[in-house]
Amino acid sequence: MSQSSPEAHTEAHTEAHTVGRVLVVGGGITGGVLSLALAQKGVEVVLVDLRESLGGVGHGITLQGNALKAFRSVGIYDKLSERGFAFSHLRLKTADGHVIAEIPAPPMGGPDLPGTMGAVRGDIADILAEEVVSAGVDVRLGTTLTAIDDHGDSVTVTLSDGSTETVDLLVGADGIRSKVRGMIGIEAEPKPVGMGIWRTVAKRPPEMDCSEMYYGGPKYKAGYTPISEDLCYAFLLEENLDRSFVGEGPRGKELKERGQGYGGIWGEVRDSLSDDAVVNYQWIEAICVDSPWHRGRSIIIGDAAHACPPLIAQGAAMCAEDAVVLAEMLTSGDPSVTVEDVLPAFMERRFPRVKMVLDNSLTLADWEIHPDTPGADPGRIMGQTLHALVEPA
């Protein structure tokens, strides 16, 4: 991944690139970063999203150094770092709060970025939305696509408002339930991993200084990440409960009851929750679309192509890396490089890295569900994965 200077973000580039006009479906982290990266290089981008606004809502996220590096390359890291909470290690604890191990976060974004940063998801979405608009991306909200007509050297996409767009490339960045995936003929669906996650945002106790995970308690795992000076994001992983549990609402009392049996700072955070604190429960799902993720002049990236259980906190990092790498390869400034050259080369660069993260996340999920598995050692596999990601994307 190249690192452009902040000045480069405002400069309209005039080189002839591999693509001149791109349609991106989905304005989450993947589609937002891709749209921004392409627009910064002078590519015309149409971004469509079903939502009525690109801004974000609550919840927390753990961003490893490689995610921060991708964000810096499109110029949004500085704004994010003003709001997020940076730290450089991860602690594993027993259910009653005793330290088992402290794992330093390797410099996945390079030596000049923090190893990890906790952030409010809504902050990332708001910053991205602002930058995408000011970079000149043509954003169409409340919109999806209804048809794709591939002409070989271009693709015409029909949108839900009846309009059509003829572009050099269609990118499906429309998340784990991607519509583009099926429309371009890729048959793959996400599958439940066998665990569910309770999540909430709470007040950060001052002694909470990094992500911590509590093992060996009554549920699969409890943990938290500080996401700002004042806030933290706390979670509890357990088995897949009945589908009727899935959703979000004033369920603090329920989480307090289900989270009994954990001490330390986790117990403190749990006890601080009000009975009507907003809590979300969802099943953890995963998908790994085999290579290639492209058909003709269309490609899927981000969660549309690969979504892993969030046990190494690398999902969004892989999404942002996909976006930055694809944009970089499509805008080399050499017009003799064709879309037909770029897409297979992109797969060669991305697939092994994404698959390694996905496979290791699935192994971790399996070990959390079956902790007596011989050789199960979550700290080792987590450390190995993060060290492997020090290699640039």
Window 4 to 43, contacts with ligand FAD (CB under 6 A) = 25-31
Token pair 């990601």 in the structure block, residue: 389
Q: Check residue 175 for interaction with ligand FAD (CB under 6 A).
A: yes
| Binding status of residue 315 toward ligand FAD by CB under 6 A | yes
Contacts of 184 (CB under 8 A, 6+ apart): 148, 172, 294, 295, 296, 298, 300
Rounded to whole angstroms, the Cα distance separating 237 from 217 reads: 11
Considering the complex, state which of residue 187 and residue 372 has its C-beta at the smaller distance from ligand FAD: 187
Q: In this chain, which stretch among 6-14, 80-88, 173-181, 331-339 interacts with ligand FAD, using CB under 6 A?
A: 173-181
In this structure, the dihedral spanned by the alpha carbons of residues 28, 341, 331 and 303, taken in order and rounded to 10 degrees, is: 10
Specify whether the CB–CB gap between 106 and 385 falls below 8 A: no
Nearest-angstrom CA–CA distance, 257 and 277? 13
CA distances for 104 relative to 55, 64, 100, 267, angstroms: 33, 12, 13, 24
Cα(15)–Cα(37) distance, rounded to whole angstroms?
A: 15
Site for ligand FAD contains 50 (CB under 6 A): yes
State the nearest-atom distance from the C-beta of 372 to ligand FAD, in Å: 25
Which residue in 391, 383, 389, 388 sits closest to 91, CA to CA?
Answer: 383
Looking at 45-53, 238-246, 292-300, 358-366, which segment touches ligand FAD (CB under 6 A)?
45-53
Joined together, the tokens standing for residue 219 give 């549920």
Minimum Å gap between C-beta 164 and ligand FAD is 16
Considering the complex, what minimum distance in angstroms separates the CB of residue 51 from ligand FAD? 4
- Count of residues touching ligand FAD (by CB under 6 A): 30
Task: Evaluate whether 263 touches 299 at the Cβ level (below 8 Å).
Answer: no
Looking at residues 105 to 144 of the shown chain, list those that interact with ligand FAD (rule: CB under 6 A): 144
Site for ligand FAD contains 67 (CB under 6 A): yes
DSSP H/E element including 373: none
| Residue 221 near residue 393, CB atoms below 8 Å | no
CB 74 within 8 A of CB 324: yes
Contact between 174 and ligand FAD per CB under 6 A: yes
In the block, residue with structure tokens 């950060």: 204
Among positions 49, 168, 321, 328, the unique one binding ligand FAD when judged by CB under 6 A? 49
* Residue among 13 and 387 whose Cβ is closer to ligand FAD: 387
User: Which of the stretches 13-21, 39-47, 172-180, 343-351 binds ligand FAD when contact is defined by CB under 6 A?
Assistant: 172-180
Range 196-255, binding ligand FAD (CB under 6 A):
197
Contacts of 155 (CB under 8 A, 6+ apart): 23, 148, 149, 166, 167, 168, 169, 170, 296, 297, 298
Q: Which of 1, 47, 48, 113 binds ligand FAD (CB under 6 A)?
A: 48
- At closest approach, how far in Å is the CB of 133 from ligand FAD? 15
The least distance separating ligand FAD from the CB of residue 281, rounded to whole angstroms, comes to: 10
* Residue 197: CB minimum distance to ligand FAD, A: 5
Note whether 313 binds ligand FAD by CB under 6 A: yes
Residue 62, interface with ligand FAD (CB under 6 A)? yes
Tell me which residues touch ligand FAD (CB under 6 A): 25-31, 48-51, 61-62, 67, 144, 173-175, 179, 197, 302-303, 307, 310, 313-317, 319
